Structure 1
Amino acid sequence: MQLSKRVKQKLELNTGERLLRLSVQQVMIIAGALLSALGYAVFQVPHNIAAGGVSGLGIIVNHLTGFPVGMFFLLFNIPLFALGFFWLGRWQFVWSSIVAVIVFSVGSDIFIRYLPLWLEHYPLTSDGLLAAIYAGVLYGLGTGLIYRYGGTIGGTSITARIIYNVTGYPLSQSYLFTDLAVVLISGFIFSMETALLATITIIMVGIFSDFVLEGSSQMRTLMIVTENPEPIRYAIINELKRGVTEWEVTGGYSKTKRTMLYLTVLRSKIYDVKYIISRIDPDAFMVVGVSQQTWGGFNAPKIDRR
């Protein structure tokens, strides 16, 4: 009970800290929604790139009926909020998502209406491929910010995030599953070339939203199985200035006792580790894995050099 109480005390925030955290979250969600709306209005709508989701359906409906894409996006999201309410945080989810959806919807219609007046050349490019790529970059960066700070941009991103939370699938894969039908419809309404461009946009959105959520992977996880661990451990600590964890393991086939060394290093240091192992124990077995993020324990151990 005492431990539980101490943990809760450490996690609790005072009123000022809670308000500051909430304010930062909402500001970043608004910024992400505006960035997504800009990419949508500048690159997707002028080229009819219906890259899945409710925003893609909005482009199709706008083409057929002239109904504003932003207003369609807002109205279509109302039933989806009910789904997100039960799966993604109830009122906290609804509040963050409402902010993002309203800002995106209003921002899209404003950009579409006034950008032709503000810009000398609109659309910015006549090349559909460039439009598809940059639409994915801006939309992906914007949605990544929204997801990172606890919201969604509504639409099929609600279902995609539910899949992400439940199954652990990357958002890029979830988007592909939930948006494929809209892309196929756009292929029949516009052209198959437009559908192919929309697919590129979806892929770019997934890549850049994952990038904002998780960052670029600069760290690598190494597992080294060796019969001669001490000199390798000493070289890693002294030459690379990295800590290392070791434990005894047994070969599944040979039943031979060995030592496994575990450490994380920068991607640029992989060659140095390989060089150390090749010089000290060429028979050692090493596995290199990708670590998306590392946290804590960054200081190199203090080595007694006397």
Structure 2
Amino acid sequence: MKKKVKEYMLITIGIILVGAGVYYFLVPNNLAAGGVSGLAIVINKFIPSIPVGLLMLFMNIILFIIAFIVIGSNFGAKTIYSSLGLSGVIWFFERFYPVKSPVTDDMLLNLIFGILIGGIGMGIVFNQNASTGGTDIIAKIINKFFHIDIGKSLLLSDFLITLAAGFTFGFKVGMYALLGVIINGFVIDEVIQGVTICKQVTIISEKGEEIKDYIMHELKRGVTLYEAKGAYTMEKKEVLMTIISRREFIRLREYIKDVDNRAFISVNNVHEVLGEGFKGIDEF
């Protein structure tokens, strides 16, 4: 129960960031950078009496109904909460904290900050194994009927929305919107990798037994032992390998420096670890 509460709290923080990025930076500049939010910005141009948040809510409900009919019930509660919650957040901003004018007069600055804030929020949502629906659903429908890969389908749906933005708001705005789609993908990837990244540490030391005990008893992490032979000395050496968090690596490095400052340490970034002591495989 505690874990579920934490997940939904993080999702809520994520959709608030996405909503703020869209409403305060993208909407005032008509930057329809893909997604249901982008489509809502385009439609709002022609039907200004309907707020962007309400348009997103209607479209997400329609998309979910279509998805359940066409694809099946492959959408979890967290995704439904995220997509409808995002629509609600933007409606809340429109209702109680309406934007009067763009944050700055520089469209590029608005695009960059809107995408950065929104991308961080999307990364947080995706890290909780949820999504904000929208074009994800459109992409799956395109994949089902036209057999185009999900990734290409997602890019296609976002591209069509930015194309619509170009026709509606002008070629320059459309190009900025397309740039936003590209940047958004990179930001989300970096946030996801940055949160889940761990350190794979390989150690060769004369104090291997002490280091092994420290990792197992102080850091509470597992250690794998290998036997290796040095090509120059032909001596047999015991090699320790462990996967730990970035914070734990700092502690381990300081400990090794104290017990054996001649130890050999090799460190690699690992972008995702599943299994005992980390995120369980059954969480996906």
TM more than 0.5:
yes
Instruction: Give 1:75's aligned residue.
Output: 58
Question: Judging changes above 3 Å, is the alpha-carbon distance between structure 1 residues 135 and 173 closer, same or farther for their aligned structure 2 residues?
Answer: farther
CA distance in 2, matches of 1:235, 1:173: 52
Q: Confirm or deny that 1:200 pairs with 2:183.
A: no
Deviation (angstroms), 1:113: 4.5
CA distance in 1, matches of 2:208, 2:66: 51
CA distance in 2, matches of 1:60, 1:125: 21
Aligned length: 250
Opposite residue 166 of structure 2, the aligned amino acid is G
Opposite residue 194 of structure 2, the aligned amino acid is G
CA distance in 1, matches of 2:206, 2:134: 54
Percentage of identical aligned residues:
30
CA distance in 2, matches of 1:45, 1:32: 18
Secondary structure at the aligned position of 2:161 is classed as helix
Which residue of 163, 167, 174 corresponds with 1:188? 167
Instruction: Give 2:282's aligned residue.
Output: none
Q: Confirm or deny that 1:136 pairs with 2:115.
A: yes
Instruction: Give 1:110's aligned residue.
Output: 92
Question: Judging changes above 3 Å, is the alpha-carbon distance between structure 1 residues 135 and 80 closer, same or farther for their aligned structure 2 residues?
Answer: same
RMSD: 4.7
Q: TM-score, normalised by structure 2?
A: 0.63
Instruction: Give 2:102's aligned residue.
Output: 123
Instruction: Report if the CA contact (8 A) 2:200-2:270 is conserved.
Output: yes
CA distance in 2, matches of 1:248, 1:74: 60
Opposite residue 63 of structure 2, the aligned amino acid is L
Deviation (angstroms), 1:28: 2.8
Deviation (angstroms), 1:176: 3.4
Q: Confirm or deny that 1:51 pairs with 2:51.
A: no
Deviation (angstroms), 1:47: 0.3
Unaligned runs of 5+ in 2: 143-149, 217-222, 229-237, 253-261, 279-284
CA distance in 1, matches of 2:92, 2:47: 19
Deviation (angstroms), 1:135: 1.1
Instruction: Give 2:145's aligned residue.
Output: none
Opposite residue 53 of structure 2, the aligned amino acid is G
Instruction: Report if the CA contact (8 A) 1:236-1:242 is conserved.
Output: no
CA distance in 2, matches of 1:83, 1:260: 55
Secondary structure at the aligned position of 2:130 is classed as coil
Secondary structure at the aligned position of 2:36 is classed as helix
Larger radius of gyration: 1
CA distance in 1, matches of 2:239, 2:152: 34
Instruction: Give 2:270's aligned residue.
Output: 291
Question: Judging changes above 3 Å, is the alpha-carbon distance between structure 1 residues 247 and 161 closer, same or farther for their aligned structure 2 residues?
Answer: farther
CA distance in 2, matches of 1:264, 1:172: 31
Instruction: Give 2:81's aligned residue.
Output: 99
Deviations 1:93-148 (A, max 9, x none): 1x3333323332232233234434xx7x7321111111111111221222223233
Deviation (angstroms), 1:248: 8.9
Instruction: Give 2:235's aligned residue.
Output: none
Q: TM-score, normalised by structure 1?
A: 0.59
CA distance in 1, matches of 2:209, 2:156: 46
Deviation (angstroms), 1:175: 4.9
CA distance in 1, matches of 2:135, 2:129: 16
Unaligned runs of 5+ in 1: 1-16, 164-170, 225-231, 250-258, 270-278, 281-286, 299-306
Question: Judging changes above 3 Å, is the alpha-carbon distance between structure 1 residues 214 and 202 closer, same or farther for their aligned structure 2 residues?
Answer: same
CA distance in 2, matches of 1:233, 1:173: 48
Question: Judging changes above 3 Å, is the alpha-carbon distance between structure 1 residues 238 and 178 closer, same or farther for their aligned structure 2 residues?
Answer: farther
Instruction: Report if the CA contact (8 A) 2:63-2:134 is conserved.
Output: yes
